[in-house]
Amino acid sequence: MKRISLAVCVGQAVPPAVRALILFSACSYLCAQGLDRATLLKQPVDAWPTYNGDYSARRFSPLTQINSTNVQNLSLLWSTRFTGSAAPAPAAGGRGGAAPAAVAIKATPLMVNGILYFSAPNNAWAVDARTGRELWHYTYPPNTGSTIGNRGLGMYGNWLYMEVPDSHLVSLDAATGKERWKVQIADPKLDYTSTAAPIVVGNHILAGIGGDHMDNRGFIQSLDPETGAVQWKWYTTPSAGEPGIETWPDAYASVHGTGQTWIPGSYDPQLNLYYFGTGNPNPVMAEQSRKGDNLYTCTIVALNPDTGKMAWYYQTSPHDTHDWDATEAPVLIDGTINGQPRKLLAQADRNGYFFLLDRTNGKHILTTPLIDTLNWSKGLNATGQPIPNPAKYPRPDGTLVSPASGGATNWPAPSFDPQTGLFYVGVNTTWSVFYQTDTDDHPEGYGGVDSGSGSEGGALLAIDYKTGKIAWRHEWPGAGGASHMLTTAGHLLFTGNGNNVVAFDPANGKILWHSSLFGSPSAGPITYMLDGKQYLLAIAGDSMYSFVVNN
Amino acid sequence: MRLLFFTRYTNFESNLEAVVRRLNPALFGAAFIAVMFTGSAAAQTGSGDKAAIAATPAALTASHEDPAAVARGAKLFAANCASCHGATAKGLTGKDNTDLVRSLYVLDDEKGILLTPPIRNGRPDKGMPKSNLTDAEILDVAAWLRVQSYGAGHRTTYTFLDVLTGDPKKGEEYFNGAGKCSTCHSPTGDLKGIGSRYSAQQLQGRWLSPGGGRGGRGAGAATGTPSRSQKTVAVTLPNGQTVSGPLDRIDDFTVSLHDSTGAYRSFTRNGDVPKVLVTDPMKVHTELLRTYTDADMHNVTAYLVTLK
């Protein structure tokens, strides 16, 4: 596979990441198997080339062949079940390891040139999108890393990128599934977990990291797509002397303050900014050794992907004590506020609030509650940040807090439909008693536990992004809350509940179609055109289900 | 570019991979648990002067370290190391480099490979003197240290502290008054002896959310003897017939239950047809979650604990 040289003069106004994209697209005719990276700059039509379908994280498809008038004829074309290599039980002393399990696909698949690429911990597959036939299956050697999940693959030309449990980034040949190289991206002995889907921006592989059991410092890094060499690495907490260190008692607390980056972000090619959320600070539930706001944990961050320099930040949970990672998708909306066109960023946060920001500068626009039981903040400050109530910090005798540590919402992807102007997200109305178990002046690890103490149930919310008000809601009659969303220009909203994939009218919440699956939907549904036919792909546990409209 | 904050001992990695950890799940007596997990009182010079909150017995068991070695190591650490590294090995306040729990020397150690050289030889550049411990004693200290790290990193091994801070009298008043608990419950009836059956933390969890963590899918329905927390459902068919019983499962498209004969029945749902009415006996508890103050919660728990 030859690559076209990028050493071509391009106007200075174009950010380098975009310049690389434009130039790389020139090789598309050579890359029959590979991903034409110009595809990444478009709305997803005949491909689903990145975790969220496109860089906006809207999970909105402009496709209309499947639509509200024919969705009742949506029927199964194929389904395939996948078996993987089982991960061994964590060795003695291993941290954060989950028990070995059957394949659980939490990855949003990529679909490029008629091939689906997806992953589970230690496993990756290529599958014919037309038939469900397995083309190759890659397995990573047994290791003791956490197998809690893998959110998917990144693709650059002919190459795939996958994080594996022992914190390596593996590059695979998309044509064969053969390993090309691997590089270590974190120290698994420090309880780093590697589950994120890498995001490809220009010639940068943006790889996040997870793990919050041992107070390990959070970061995100950019790797060279050809060699895996680190291009830059941005720590989510400051070192001594750096801005933000004033929000920690000392540098030692800061560099053990965690703030992980385990959910892929979004990207604005015009502004050349990559947006992502960071996780909770550590020690998680024993805050006595980390007084202060604890920047940049629980924060939405905008970085220049070429330099790794921060452009702005907005902290959604200053001084979090409840494990509420702010890693949920930062959804990019080109909208209108008070009659003015605005470049916006919306996030439904695990802490129970919906945030709307100006994504050019991080200025706050609005904060509204997702659920009506939030009891941990004393209100909002002048910039819309919740003010944590110290009376609701975890205590040895317990504090009753809503939501539970799992949050009002969590990692399942929301969706924004520009046709309705509504933001769709799944929520749970829950409580936990938060117990501090480490009162030492120098706590370590979690320093506490929370004990679930009740739920009023789960719901699908449709939120007007301009006001944060809930336009409609669907209460799930059984279990379920935070579920994956997909909207399409066919006036459809797809999501999952129980063992069903369900289609709603996104304007009013009316159920239009459903199909039962052999399991609970475990990853985001996607859609794409192939041979003139629109497909809906649903994922549940170890299986995939491909639907088309039968005429 | 910032530097990594720990030195990485990559040269040991291949050795470590070759080491097969020998598991020793031997039973151990309660007598030396106290020694292992609290250190000695004389060593309370570290940051943990409020309480020697260290790894718990659960952490020892889960770590698969040799309990006897860990017990010996606890005494050796207290006598030889704690004055600089703190009783719980978390280091001394203001001296961050004395924290061993987060140290890669401990996190990466297997069989003392990493820990033996610095303990035996000291680290003169850091002001750490060499020790007079024998090689076997060093291995014991290493085993104890590994349990400390394991315990910090595994929240399932944590133990609850003093949960019982409430006022039982106020709890009783709330029980009979504002909380209206006495509407359904009696200290001499269904709650008799409940304080003997659970720890304070378990009790607090159970009264806040009876049946908590077991609901959602109608657990217990198949036995035919529904628990008091079991949801029931009444399904009224278009012909007017009503089928009711313990709820098995419900979503927007299907509802299933066990009817009065214990037989499993399921129905397709299409909007409001058939009519479905779910009754959740725990709803009153769930609704109360919006009203409790933390003081109410602690007081009621303190009261219930007295119901021996």
What pLDDT, in 10s, does the model give residues A273-306?
999 999 999 999 999 999 999 999 999 999 999 9
What's the 3-state SS for A84-130? CCCCCCCCCCCCCCCCCCCCCCCCCCEEECCEEEEEECCEEEEEECC
Mean pLDDT of A140-152: 91
- 3-class secondary structure, A405: coil
Q: Does A431 touch chain B (CB under 8 A)?
A: yes
What per-residue confidence (pLDDT) applies to A22? 52
What is the rounded CA–CA span in Å between residue A199 and residue A194?
14
What per-residue confidence (pLDDT) applies to B34? 38
What is the rounded CA–CA span in Å between residue A102 and residue A520?
14
Q: Helix, strand, coil proportions of chain B in percent (round to 5)?
A: 40, 10, 45
Residue with tokens 């409609």: A472
**What's at A522, amino acid-wise?**
S
Contact residues for A128 (Cβ-Cβ < 8 A; gap 6+): A114, A115, A116, A134, A135
What per-residue confidence (pLDDT) applies to A33? 65
What is the rounded CA–CA span in Å between residue A399 and residue A376?
10
Contact residues for B201 (Cβ-Cβ < 8 A; gap 6+): A398, A435, A451, B160, B163
Q: What's the number of CA atoms in the CB half-sphere (13 Å) around residue A499?
A: 12
Q: Does A435 touch chain B (CB under 8 A)?
A: yes
Q: Does B96 touch chain A (CB under 8 A)?
A: yes
What per-residue confidence (pLDDT) applies to A20? 55
Backbone angles phi, psi at B36, to 5 degrees: -65, -40
**Strand partners for B234:** B244, B277
Record: contact A433-B153, CB cut-off 8 A: no
What is the rounded CA–CA span in Å between residue B102 and residue A278?
22
Closest residue on chain A to B19 (Cα): A91
What is the rounded CA–CA span in Å between residue B291 and residue A238?
40
pTM for this prediction:
0.89
Contact residues for B303 (Cβ-Cβ < 8 A; gap 6+): B166, B168, B169, B170, B171, B172, B174, B175
Mean pLDDT of A167-188: 96
Averaged confidence pLDDT in chain A: 92
Q: How far apart are the first and last CA of chain B?
A: 62
pLDDT for A480-515, tens place per residue? 788 999 999 999 999 999 999 999 999 999 999 999
pLDDT for B74-112, tens place per residue? 999 999 999 999 988 988 877 778 999 989 899 889 999
Q: B-chain residues within 8 Å CB-CB of A96?
A: 153
What is the rounded CA–CA span in Å between residue A477 and residue B270?
13
Note whether A407 and B308 are within 8 A (CB): no
Backbone angles phi, psi at A517, to 5 degrees: -120, 170
What is the rounded CA–CA span in Å between residue B176 and residue B173?
5
pLDDT for B25-62, tens place per residue? 232 333 334 334 443 333 333 333 333 446 788 999 99
Mean pLDDT of A322-335: 98
What is the rounded CA–CA span in Å between residue B203 and residue B194?
8
Question: Is the per-residue pLDDT at A23 higher than 70?
Answer: no
Q: Which helix (H) or strand (E) holds B78?
A: helix B67-80
What is the rounded CA–CA span in Å between residue B214 and residue A122?
32
pLDDT band at A311 (very low <50, low <70, confident <90, very high): very high
**Strand partners for A314:** A300
pLDDT for B244-292, tens place per residue? 999 999 999 999 999 999 999 999 999 999 999 999 988 999 999 999 9
Q: Does B107 touch chain A (CB under 8 A)?
A: yes
Mean pLDDT of A84-98: 50
Pick A437's closest partner by Cβ from B149, B158, B276: B158
Question: Is the per-residue pLDDT at A58 higher than 50?
Answer: yes
Record: contact B86-A442, CB cut-off 8 A: yes
**Which sequence spans correspond to the domains of chain A?**
16-84+101-549
Mean pLDDT of A123-152: 94
Backbone angles phi, psi at A525, to 5 degrees: -70, 150
Mean pLDDT of A121-133: 97
Q: B-chain residues within 8 Å CB-CB of A448?
A: 155, 158
Backbone angles phi, psi at B148, to 5 degrees: -60, -45
Record: contact A402-B289, CB cut-off 8 A: yes
What is the rounded CA–CA span in Å between residue B250 and residue A167?
40
Rg (CA), chain A: 22
What per-residue confidence (pLDDT) applies to A510? 98
Peptide bond into B274 cis (omega under 30): yes
What per-residue confidence (pLDDT) applies to A190? 84
Question: Is the per-residue pLDDT at A5 higher than 70?
Answer: no
Structure letter (DSSP) for residue B182: G
Question: Is the per-residue pLDDT at A217 higher than 50?
Answer: yes
- 3-class secondary structure, B84: helix
- 3-class secondary structure, A255: helix
**What's at A248, amino acid-wise?**
W
Buried b / exposed e across B134-167, counting CB within 10 Å, b at 16+? eeebbbbbbbbbbbbbbbbbbbebbebbebbbbe
Backbone angles phi, psi at A282, to 5 degrees: -120, 155
Where do runs of H (alpha helix) occur along A178-315?
251-255
- Domain A16-84+101-549 annotated CATH 2.140.10.10: yes
Record: contact B298-A398, CB cut-off 8 A: yes
Question: Is the per-residue pLDDT at B218 higher than 90?
Answer: no
What per-residue confidence (pLDDT) applies to A477? 94
Cα torsion angle, B124, A445, B92, A291, sign: positive
Structure letter (DSSP) for residue A385: -
Note whether A298 and A287 are within 8 A (CB): no
Which of 501-540 (A) contact B at CB < 8 A?
502, 511, 514, 516
pLDDT for B228-255, tens place per residue? 778 999 999 999 999 999 999 999 999 9
The per-residue DSSP string of A415-471 comes to: EEETTTTEEEEEEEEEEEEEEE---SSS--TT-EEEEEEEEEEEEEEEEETTT--EE
Q: Does A479 touch chain B (CB under 8 A)?
A: yes
Q: Which helix (H) or strand (E) holds A312?
A: strand A310-315
Record: contact A396-B160, CB cut-off 8 A: yes
Mean pLDDT of A331-338: 97
**CATH topology assigned to domain B10-157:** Cytochrome Bc1 Complex; Chain D, domain 2 (1.10.760)
Record: contact B289-A215, CB cut-off 8 A: no
Peptide bond into B226 cis (omega under 30): no
Mean pLDDT of B112-121: 95
Question: Is the per-residue pLDDT at A27 higher than 70?
Answer: no
- 3-class secondary structure, A389: coil
Q: Express as a percent the part of chain A with pLDDT over 90.
A: 85
**What's at B19, amino acid-wise?**
V
Give the number of beta-carbon pairs within 8 Å between A and B: 181
Q: Express as a percent the part of chain B with pLDDT over 90.
A: 65
Pick B253's closest partner by Cβ from A214, A448, A514: A514
**CATH topology assigned to domain B221-281:** SH3 type barrels. (2.30.30)
Q: Is B91 left (phi over 0), alpha (psi -120 to 50) or beta?
A: left
What is the rounded CA–CA span in Å between residue B264 and residue B276?
16
Record: contact A400-B208, CB cut-off 8 A: yes
pLDDT for B142-195, tens place per residue? 999 999 999 999 999 999 999 999 999 999 999 999 999 999 999 999 999 999
What per-residue confidence (pLDDT) applies to A479? 81
What per-residue confidence (pLDDT) applies to B226? 52
Q: B-chain residues within 8 Å CB-CB of A446?
A: 155, 158
Lowest mean pLDDT among A4-13, A444-453, B57-66: A4-13
Top residue of A280, A440, A460, A510 to mutate, by most chain B CBs within 10 Å, is: A440
Strands (E), chain B: 232-236, 242-250, 254-258, 264-268, 275-279
Q: Parallel, antiparallel, or unpaired: how do β-strands B232-236 and A543-549 relate?
A: unpaired
What is the rounded CA–CA span in Å between residue B223 and residue B49?
52
Closest CA relative to residue A512, chosen from A495, A524, A529? A495
What per-residue confidence (pLDDT) applies to A102? 76
What is the rounded CA–CA span in Å between residue A399 and residue B210?
18
Closest CA relative to residue B130, chosen from B142, B144, B116? B116
